[in-house]
Amino acid sequence: MADFCKACSTELFGEDRGDLKGVTSEEDWQQGRAGITICEGCGVIYVDPSGNCVSSDCLKKGKPGHGDTQWPTTP
């Protein structure tokens, strides 16, 4: 089954299906780490705990919801 980041899911289906939610744990995210996965719209990307694309070099870079989420600063 194809998986999509939050922005691609909303663009294609009109809603966030939550395909990539939870790939990155909240604990990892707060420590400045993100899970890497494949979004069928973006390619290979990093995602935050909500499934947002946080890769500034994804296939849809520059479009809203792609790489515009700020990574947390590490302690």
Which pLDDT score is estimated for 68? 85
Residue 51 CB coordination number (10 Å): 25
64: burial class by Cβ within 10 Å (0-12, 13-18, 19+)? exposed
pLDDT tens-digit series, residues 24-52: 999 999 999 999 999 999 999 999 999 99
| Average pLDDT value for residue range 63-67 | 89
pLDDT tens-digit series, residues 14-31: 999 999 999 999 999 999
